[in-house]
């Protein structure tokens, strides 16, 4: 068997294999024996046809059918001997065979690129710290008051804290109703940020039974169009926000907290925890982004496709019916997430190299620590978690990743920066 290797790109490779007629004989003999029990020829019982006759009448088709298996077997043997680990599904790009002559074929496959690790320690990075602001706490309290609001029927809108229940009739530019474009009993909260400004303006001062016009630009997918509508006010309610006091706190916490000041402290701590989490995420993102930026190499297309497939599957699982949204454009989505998939593929390959170089592995103590933490959080028996984590690939990956991130943070040069600009933490 003759074997020739060809490197097309750093990820794409080809193997050209040629087998002599003599090397093909045992493969063909095995193929004949395999089909023999099913062959029927007049004068012979099924399965009792001599091999010489099978070769005479069916030899060409049997040998042709056997070629794929011979190619796959030869390819598998070759890559095992050379310790080659293809990514994705190899593709046959050429196959040549004529009875009595050598059998040659070429298979294209992808491999992980050879990566020369650049410096991944000592990364200079800023860690943004955001102290909780009074206005943030006030906003959260206001949100809780809004959630627990009551409604008092009114005859007229006299401010922004009103809800109008209206029938909405879409019209053309001239005001003529569009048949089939009417929605009844729609509740419109005037102080809701998502409510169109033009609708708020149209309903300011509205009275029950009144009809009001509104027109505005509506964003749909990647374009905007003009919307015209008539709003008939059927019901008006004033929004009554409860006071943030002990009574409200007992209600919304089911008496876990009995005083407003105590609960206010917990709200402040929650906000602080949120920003701390964002701080840590931004820090890790900045470190890993810088490491990836320092490495220039191509990634296997099969790996990019696999990651993109996982994004689509995740999107599907987020839907109530576990189905992709109607009109979902598969290719458009793949094109949009491709940069993210390429980045993730690069990080996965770099991460793999760093884990090996730094000898970052999982010990029983690591599993025990994770089980201890999760058992308290989930109120689950620790030993059950230990047994589960030892056999869970996802748990293994999580522990490895946590250890790697801890190592990278400890190895980075971190400068703490206090900021009021929360956009730095939300990127």
Render 117-131 in DSSP notation, one character per residue: ----SS-EEEEEE-P
All structural domains of the chain, each given as residue ranges with its CATH number in brackets, are: 2-110 (3.30.70.1050), 150-240 (3.10.50.40), 251-297+358-426 (no CATH)
Tokens representing 367 are 């599993």
Q: Collapse the DSSP code of 381 into the 3-class scheme (helix H, G, I; strand E, B; otherwise coil) and give the result.
A: coil
Please list the pLDDT of the chain residue by residue as tens digits (427 residues).
899 999 999 999 999 999 999 999 999 989 988 888 888 887 787 877 788 887 878 888 888 999 999 999 999 999 999 999 999 999 999 999 998 899 999 999 999 999 999 999 999 999 999 999 999 999 999 999 999 999 999 999 999 999 999 999 999 988 899 999 999 999 999 999 889 999 999 999 999 999 999 999 887 666 778 999 999 999 999 999 999 999 999 999 999 999 999 999 999 999 999 999 999 999 999 999 999 999 999 999 999 999 999 999 999 998 888 888 888 899 999 999 999 999 999 999 999 999 999 999 999 898 899 888 888 888 888 888 888 888 888 888 999 999 999 999 999 999 999 999 888 888 6
Angstrom distance (rounded) from CA 396 to CA 138: 42
Give me the torsion for CA of 397, 399, 403, 408, rounded to 10°: 40
Q: Scan for tokens 């002599």, then name that residue.
A: 20
H helix runs in 257-363, sequence order: 260-293, 301-318, 330-357
Q: What is the pLDDT of residue 324?
A: 87
Closest CA relative to residue 204, chosen from 238, 156, 146:
156
């Amino acid at each position: 068997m003759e074997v020739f290797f060809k490197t097309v790109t750093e990820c794409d490779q080809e193997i050209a294999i040629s087998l002599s007629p003599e090397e093909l004989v045992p493969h063909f003999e095995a193929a004949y024996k395999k089909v023999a029990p099913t062959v029927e020829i007049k004068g012979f019982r099924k399965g009792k046809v001599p091999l010489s006759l099978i070769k005479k009448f069916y030899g060409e088709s049997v040998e042709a059918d056997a070629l794929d298996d011979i190619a796959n077997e030869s390819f598998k043997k070759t890559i095992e001997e050379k310790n080659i680990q293809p990514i994705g599904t190899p593709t046959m790009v050429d196959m040549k065979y004529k009875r009595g002559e050598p059998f040659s074929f070429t298979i294209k496959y992808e491999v992980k690129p050879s990566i020369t690790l650049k410096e991944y320690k000592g990364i200079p990075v800023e860690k943004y710290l955001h102290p909780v602001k009074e206005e943030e706490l006030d906003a959260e309290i206001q949100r809780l008051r809004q959630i627990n609001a009551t409604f008092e029927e009114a005859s007229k809108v006299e401010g922004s804290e009103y809800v109008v229940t209206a029938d909405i009739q879409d019209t053309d530019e001239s005001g003529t109703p569009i048949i089939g474009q009417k929605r009844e009993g729609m509740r419109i909260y005037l102080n809701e940020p998502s409510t169109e400004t033009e609708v708020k303006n149209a309903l300011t001062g509205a009275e029950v039974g009144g009809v009001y016009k509104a027109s505005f630009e509506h964003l749909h997918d990647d374009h905007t169009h003009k919307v015209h509508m008539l709003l008939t006010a059927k019901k008006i309610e004033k929004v009554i926000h409860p006071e943030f006091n002990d009574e409200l706190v007992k209600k919304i916490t089911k008496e876990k907290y009995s005083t407003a000041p105590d609960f206010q402290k917990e709200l402040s701590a929650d906000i602080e925890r949120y920003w701390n989490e964002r701080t840590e995420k931004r820090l890790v993102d900045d470190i890993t982004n810088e490491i990836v930026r320092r490495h220039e190499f191509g990634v296997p297309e099969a790996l990019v496709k696999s990651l993109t497939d996982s994004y689509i599957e995740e999107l599907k699982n987020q839907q109530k019916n576990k189905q992709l949204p109607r009109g979902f454009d598969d290719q458009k989505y793949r094109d949009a997430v491709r940069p993210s998939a390429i980045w993730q593929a690069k990080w996965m390959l770099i991460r793999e190299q760093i884990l090996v170089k730094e000898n970052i592995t999982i010990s029983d103590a690591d599993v025990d620590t994770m089980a201890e933490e999760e058992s308290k959080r989930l109120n689950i028996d620790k030993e059950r978690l230990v047994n589960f984590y030892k056999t869970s690939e996802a748990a293994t990956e999580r522990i490895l990743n946590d250890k790697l991130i801890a190592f990278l943070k400890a190895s980075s040069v971190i400068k703490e920066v206090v900021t009021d600009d929360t956009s730095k933490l939300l990127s």
